[in-house]
Amino acid sequence: MIPERKSLIIDERQAAAMIRDGMTIAIGGFINSSHPMAIVRQIIRRGVKDLTVVGPASGGLDLDLLIGAGCVKKLVTAYMGGEHYCPIAPLFRVAAERGEIDVWECDEGMFYCALRAAAQGLPFTPWKAGIGTSFPQVNPDLKVFTDPINGEPLLAVPAIKPEIALIYAAHADPYGNVQHIGTGFGDRAMWRAAGKTIVQVEKIIPNEEVRKNPLATSIYGADAIVRAPYGSHPFAAPGYYIEDEEHIREYVAAANAYAKKGDRRPFEAYLHKYIMEPETHADYLEVIGIKRLISLHEY
Amino acid sequence: MIPERKSLIIDERQAAAMIRDGMTIAIGGFINSSHPMAIVRQIIRRGVKDLTVVGPASGGLDLDLLIGAGCVKKLVTAYMGGEHYCPIAPLFRVAAERGEIDVWECDEGMFYCALRAAAQGLPFTPWKAGIGTSFPQVNPDLKVFTDPINGEPLLAVPAIKPEIALIYAAHADPYGNVQHIGTGFGDRAMWRAAGKTIVQVEKIIPNEEVRKNPLATSIYGADAIVRAPYGSHPFAAPGYYIEDEEHIREYVAAANAYAKKGDRRPFEAYLHKYIMEPETHADYLEVIGIKRLISLHEY
Amino acid sequence: MTKEYATDFTTKELIASFIAHQVRDGERVAVGAGLHVPRAGILLAHLLYCPNVRLYVVMTFTNLIKEPKMEPFYTVTDFRPAKWAEAYVFHDDFQENPRLVSDMFVVGALQIDKYGNSNLIGVGKDYKRLDFRGPGAVGTLSMAHYVDRYYLYVQSHDRRIFVEQCDFISTIGWGEGGADGRRKLGIPGNGPIYCITPLCIMDFEPTSKRMRLKSVHPGVTVDQVVENTGFELIVPESVPETEPPTIHEIRTLRERIDVEGMLRR
Amino acid sequence: MTKEYATDFTTKELIASFIAHQVRDGERVAVGAGLHVPRAGILLAHLLYCPNVRLYVVMTFTNLIKEPKMEPFYTVTDFRPAKWAEAYVFHDDFQENPRLVSDMFVVGALQIDKYGNSNLIGVGKDYKRLDFRGPGAVGTLSMAHYVDRYYLYVQSHDRRIFVEQCDFISTIGWGEGGADGRRKLGIPGNGPIYCITPLCIMDFEPTSKRMRLKSVHPGVTVDQVVENTGFELIVPESVPETEPPTIHEIRTLRERIDVEGMLRR
């Protein structure tokens, strides 16, 4: 009798149920691409609070949505915006200005220093860029110290260890071998640093397919896999779909109504229609409609 | 008129001519695989002296040969041997015992710390493993210091910056895009740290071939490319040939004659036959013979 | 070959041409998605003068000299330009050696002081209660630290941007000034070379490293620049007009790079 | 199912079976090339008890439960077993997080002291003039530091290896002893669990963390072990024989793992 490998596939509700109030979680992707939105929306649905969110090195509107929905206490990222859709994320901006969230101010270099320290089990890793800037002042976690080799002033960037990383990728087999299409941005760095990693994928592929291109395996050993087609919507998914410009503009308009005019109703309506009302990711896709979804395939 | 890209292809003599007495150079691969031997042999032919050789994290008999030929002043690696061919590299052993070479004692973790610090332009990177061991005692470059975050004792591993890295890979296009077959071991880390990188390849491929699998491009931007078929012989080349067991045993016997019995003649004969007498890499291959070479294709 | 200058061009095209002359062949050059004008300038350099530049585009490396036309891309995550890739770059790899990503860099800002220090963090005296929260530093701090040189680029020129003192500094220019302003802080590289605005090009006076007017764009007066700059700008006795683009550059921009006409709007 | 013990086995097969029982399902486990017996033990665990182990083999990750037979490999650079790869591991990636490579590790040594500290650097009092230069630490120091637990494994048992004090320590065991011997040094993980030799299995007495005889292999006497150990070994009143392999284990070893019979020589 040949023993069998255990499938690691769970659904987005089981994944989101692992995220508890006050946790430190990482969310993968980059600005307008590759976010595990099926899980993110389920986290909002569950009303999780006080999260420390380690965004990608440069964060996008997925994090803005989490802030607007009241899930976030502290944010670790070097940028918050939607590029040409909105240069600065609207709800991030007002929440930061009002002190409703803490921002762990950093640049992308420091961001990876913090993740690497966590991955390496070190209290910190050093960085040179930042000496002479305001970073050590606005982020007191960054300590200026004298390097023991040449006596130079350096920045000690302390470890930030996500308890769970939530990653989006194109494919995985049932056993946790994950393959991105494209570069995968900084997702590997999050996986290396995190205690556990849950990867939401467009498609489950057989282990035999994984073995055809082992170099493409970006994360060898996710702890759980969530299958969610169109799961990065409204953001892009390399090799699958481009971002849903219309939906993103709808979000930005709703968020701006609050950020710029103090009218929270359009954002609440957005939350209700796209997140609270649909019970599952599949229900969400029904709200978006297959017509819109397949229109995004055009490359 | 469309401007043209410049080819970066040079030959092994031009490559070796860039290596001067006293330089710090890195040599890629791992123990019994993937060494840029056409360039290494040409360095020996030219009689280069006093090199600081940053071997792979775990070094093989290519470095032993360089030591035996009198090219090496200092060696940076965490292992020196040939696995089942010889657990400890013979000429390395005697040279180290007699103080004829300096050994920068480290383990593989510290080795990559030193390369990473160089790549990041930092004076050092920290490491935890090593506290309580003899490493800071036998390698005074390693400094124990108090981490500025938690006050833990840590090891500061100083940067080691190779002026030139010599790497072996399967393929490159003429413009410096390099693709390994297999993992490429720690070759990327050497490239990131080095001032310049010369890559010796089995085969030049068209740029169009590179573009078919951009994920396979391991080194994007070598400074020069050397074409040398069978260029890792007698060591293995993933996807091309296995190591030449008979030749390696011949080398080990010659080296052991000196290391164990003080008889240097077999090693000198080896040097003469395989390195000093053949003028080029192609001449070397003639000495080995095509019959032997194609027998190594068997997988 | 004498240069045949164009006479019909926009300020954006002028700036693109200026930026094109900053690129050196064989360098690695990061091409941003958001800043259309610098992007066009770098691509112009590549197509006309620097065939061996390694372009870092949407987290890939490529070379585009054989491409008849550049399709536009507006986000750094747009996967479509990755079809040109010669190599993929994992984003965290940039931190392993920023120089492998780019030899030069373009830095935007909310505020810039007279020594070229700049701010993307936010505007206000109290960090905990900012008047205006900025987008964050992205990778500008680390890139500007490690690259050979960088260029400040802003899309408007007024006293809100050019200030006596930045509320926060996210990227070091010449620190507190002086030719050793960077060396004193242990910062490598040649720092900011030019500051490029819709009105003018500014450089840094070599001794004090204070910002100095280098050229004004056609139709712009020196007074206009001085008036819209919130710190004391060094103004040489004679300030030339910014060198116009050539006819060939304009043709290349319009036919191969900026086919959608973003630089003409 | 009661265990049916084999009666005909070699010491190497016995040790492989012992090691097989150290592996836990779902773990990452590095499989070395050079040490045949631990390699066979880990593969035995995988095929019989731990189908979800992630095997780190020649710098790839794989799972081999569907493989009828393991072809032998003798070097860590042999590319042939990479045909089984589910993922490639760049060697420098191990330093980014050693735990992603392995949860357990096997460490060899030139010298081992009573607290399980070990030496691969060399033998001699003067580092600059060693009597015997060792091969170097390879990755043992870092792996043993980061993994959940490790196992000391040597291929001979004599007073040159088991010494009162190592000339040099390349891998920390229990430091200067005591249950907090590692914690005092800030070292994570559970340290060395067993020391495995051709004569016996030794563990560490929980309070002092001094090495203690746990079991002797068939045909070996306690006196023989004590005589060949250069430090004072803790010897319990009764020392059992090492648990023999089962018939099923021996069959699996011989038919699927050690087809070339290296463990029978």
pLDDT digits over D247-265, tens only? 999 999 999 999 999 999 8
Q: Which of B115, B138, B189 sits opposite D121 (nearest CB)?
A: B138
Q: Is residue A299 part of a domain?
A: no
**Any chain D CB within 8 A of the CB of A221?**
yes
Beta strand B124-127 with B153-158 is antiparallel
Write out pLDDT tens, residues C147-161: 999 999 999 999 999
Q: Are C243 and C200 in contact (CB under 8 A)?
A: no
Phi-psi region of A185 (alpha: psi -120 to 50; beta: other; left: phi over 0): left
| Same domain for A147 and A64 | no
Mean predicted confidence (pLDDT) in D231-251 = 98
Which of A108, A139, A149 is the best residue to mutate to test the B interface, defined by the most B CB atoms within 10 Å of its own CB? A149
- Which two three-digit tokens encode residue B273? 């036959």
Do the Cβ atoms of B109 and D130 come within 8 Å?
no
Number of domains within chain B? 2
d(CA D245, CA D9): 8
Average pLDDT over residues A198-224: 98
Predicted local confidence at residue B178, as pLDDT: 98
**pLDDT value of position B104:** 98
My answer on whether A235 and A154 are in the same domain is no
Looking at the fold, whether A48 and A89 belong to one and the same domain comes out as yes
Residues B104 and B71 occupy one common structural domain: yes
Closest CA to B241 of B274, B288, B208, B278: B288
CA distances from A145 to A140, A152, A153, D218 (A): 13, 8, 6, 59
Which residue is listed with tokens 């310049």?
A: B196
Distance in angstroms (rounded) separating the CA atoms of residues C213 and C137 = 26
The answer to whether residue C144 scores a pLDDT higher than 90 is yes
- CA B64 to chain A, closest CA, distance in angstroms equals 31
Min Cα–Cα distance to chain D from A89, Å: 32
Cβ-defined contact of C51 to B220 (cutoff 8 Å): no
Question: Could you tell me whether strands A129-132 and C132-133 are parallel, antiparallel, or unpaired per DSSP bridges?
Answer: unpaired
The two three-digit tokens of residue A275, written as one number? 């997140």
- Is A226 contained in some domain? yes
Contacts of D13 (CB under 8 A, 6+ apart): D40, D245, D250, D253, D258, D263, D264
Return the exposure string of D158-178: e unless at least 16 CB atoms fall within 10 Å of the residue's CB, then b.
Answer: eeebbbeebbbbbbbbbbebe
Note the pLDDT of residue B143: 98
Please name the amino acid found at residue A283.
Answer: D
Question: Which residues touch A291 (CB under 8 Å, ≥6 apart)?
Answer: none
Q: How far is CA B108 from CA B125, C46, D34, D140, D147, in A?
A: 14, 41, 17, 8, 15
In this structure, is residue B111 part of a structural domain? yes
Residue B299 is assigned to a structural domain of this protein:
no
Tell me the one-letter amino acid at C88: Y
Distance CA C240, CA B13 (A): 51
* Residues paired with residue B217 on neighbouring β-strands, in sequence order: B179
User: A61-68 and A37-46 helices cross at what angle (nearest 10)?
Assistant: 10
Residue C206 has pLDDT above 90, yes or no: yes
Find the DSSP H helices in B57-169.
Answer: 61-68, 90-97, 108-119, 135-138
Residues of D within 8 A of A3 (CB-CB) are 47-48, 51, 65
How many C-beta atoms lie closer than 10 Å to residue A161's C-beta? 17
Q: Cα-Cα-Cα-Cα dihedral of B213, B217, B220, B225, to 10°? A: -110
The secondary structure element, H or E, covering residue C54 is strand C54-57
Q: How far is CA B193 from CA A81, A296, B190, in A?
A: 33, 42, 5
Q: How far is CA D227 from CA B108, B133, C114, D203, D233, in A?
A: 35, 28, 80, 18, 10
Shortest distance between the Cα of B14 and any Cα of chain D, in A, equals: 29
Q: Say whether both B224 and B250 belong to one domain.
A: yes
The yes-or-no verdict on residue D235 having pLDDT over 80 is yes
Average pLDDT in the C94-123 region? 97
The first and second tokens of residue C16, run together, are: 């693109």
Which residue in this structure is represented by tokens 């990452």? Answer: D28
From B121, B125, B159, residue closest to A125, measured CB to CB = B125
Domain CATH number, residue B90? 3.40.1080.10
* Contact check, Cβ <8 Å, D77/B239: no
Short-list C260, A261, D130, A250, CA closest to B100 = D130
In this complex, do A149 and B126 lie within 8 Å of one another by their Cβ atoms? Answer: no
Asked if A149 is an interface residue toward chain B (Cβ–Cβ < 8 A), one would say: yes
Q: Does B6 touch chain C (CB under 8 A)?
A: yes
Query: A139 with A170, same domain?
Result: no
Distances (CA, A) of D68 to C82, D48, D80, D252, D254: 41, 12, 16, 10, 12
Residue A2, domain member (yes or no):
no
Residues B79 and B38 in one domain: yes
The answer on B243 and B181 residing in a single domain is yes
Mean of pLDDT values over A54-78? 98
Among D86, B109, B114, residue whose Cα is nearest residue A209: D86
Model confidence at C81: pLDDT above 90: yes
CA dist A92 and A53 (Å) reads: 12
Among all residues of chain D, which has the CA nearest to that of B139? D127
Residue A3 placed within a domain: no
Confidence of residue C234 (pLDDT cuts 50, 70, 90): very high
Q: Which of the 8 DSSP states describes residue D70?
A: P
Residue D203 and residue D114: Cα distance in Å, rounded? 10
Query: Are A93 and C133 within 8 A, CB to CB?
Result: yes
HSE-CB for D249 with a 13 A CA cutoff: 30
Residue C87 and residue B220 in contact, taking contact as beta carbons nearer than 8 Å: yes
Q: Is D75 on the interface with A (CB under 8 A)?
A: no
Q: What are phi and psi of A224, to 5 degrees?
A: -155, 155
**Confidence at residue A1, expressed as pLDDT on a 0 to 100 scale:** 63
A112 and chain C in contact, CB less than 8 A: yes
- CB neighbours of B251 closer than 8 A, spacing ≥ 6? B61, B65, B234, B270
Low-confidence ranges of chain B (pLDDT < 50): none
Tell me B225's DSSP state: E
Alpha helix ranges (H) inside C72-194: 140-146
CB pairs under 8 A between B and D: 171
Name the residue facing D76 among B83, B105, B189 (closest C-beta): B83
Q: Looking at chain B, which residue has its C-alpha nearest residue A144?
A: B148
In a domain, B257, yes or no: yes
- Closest residue in B to C188 (Cα) is B121
Residue D75 and residue B32 in contact, taking contact as beta carbons nearer than 8 Å: yes
Measured CA angle at C173 (ends C169, C179), to 5 deg: 135
pLDDT at B103: 98
State the amino acid at position A156 in one-letter form.
A
Average pLDDT over residues C54-63: 96
Is the pLDDT at C101 greater than 90? The verdict is yes
How far apart are alpha carbons A48 and A60 in whole angstroms?
19
Domain D11-264: top CATH class: alpha beta
- Touching chains, A (3+ CB pairs < 8 A): B, C, D
- Which residues, 6 or more positions from B135, have their beta carbon under 8 angstroms from its beta carbon? B105, B106, B107, B110, B142, B155, D137, D141, D170
Q: Which residue has the tokens 């020069």?
A: B224
Pairing of strands D132-133, D122-123: antiparallel
Q: Rounded distance, CA A261 to CA A252, Å? A: 13
Identify the domain containing residue A42 by its residue range.
9-116+161-211+218-294
What does the pLDDT read at residue B1?
63
Q: Three-state DSSP class for A295?
A: helix
Say which of B5, B192, B215 has its CB closest to residue C63.
B5
| Spatial separation of the C-alpha atoms in residues B288 and B277, rounded to whole Å | 13
Residue in chain B lying closest to D85 (CA): B182
Residue A151: pLDDT band with limits 50, 70, 90:
very high
User: Among A208, A210, A202, which Cα is nearest to A297's?
Assistant: A202
Tokens read off for B103: 């050994």
D147 in reach of chain B (CB within 8 A): no
User: CA separation (Å) from B221 to B12, B173, B199?
Assistant: 19, 10, 10
CB contact under 8 A, C61 and B192: no
Q: What percent of chain D clears pLDDT 90, i.e. is strictly above it? A: 95
Distance between CA D150 and CA D61 in Å, rounded?
A: 20
Encode C139-174: b = buried (16+ Cβ within 10 Å), e = exposed: bbbbbbbbbbbbbbbbeebeeebbbeebbbbbbbbb
pLDDT in tens, D20-49: 999 999 999 999 888 899 999 999 999 999
Q: Would the ipTM clear 0.95, i.e. be above it?
A: yes
Greatest Cα-to-Cα distance within chain B, rounded to the nearest angstrom: 67
Residue D196 has pLDDT above 70, yes or no: yes
The alpha-helical segments, DSSP class H, found in D85-192 are 140-146
Share in percent of chain D as helix, strand, coil (round to 5): 25, 20, 55
Cis peptide before B140 (omega within 30 of 0): no
**Is A25 in the same domain as A105?**
yes
Q: Which of A66, A43, A53 is nearest to A160 (CA)?
A: A53
Residue A7 has what pLDDT? 98
Query: How confident is residue A299, by pLDDT bands cut at 50, 70 and 90?
Result: low
- Calculate the average pLDDT of chain C: 96
In the complex, which subunits touch C with 3 or more CB pairs below 8 angstroms? A, B
Asked if the structure places residue A69 within a domain, the reply is yes
Q: Please indicate if any CB of chain A lies within 8 Å of the CB of D86.
A: yes
The conformation of residue A59, written as its DSSP 8-state character, comes to: B
What's the rounded Cα separation, in Å, for the pair C85 and C56?
Answer: 9
Reply yes or no on whether the pLDDT at D1 is more than 80.
no
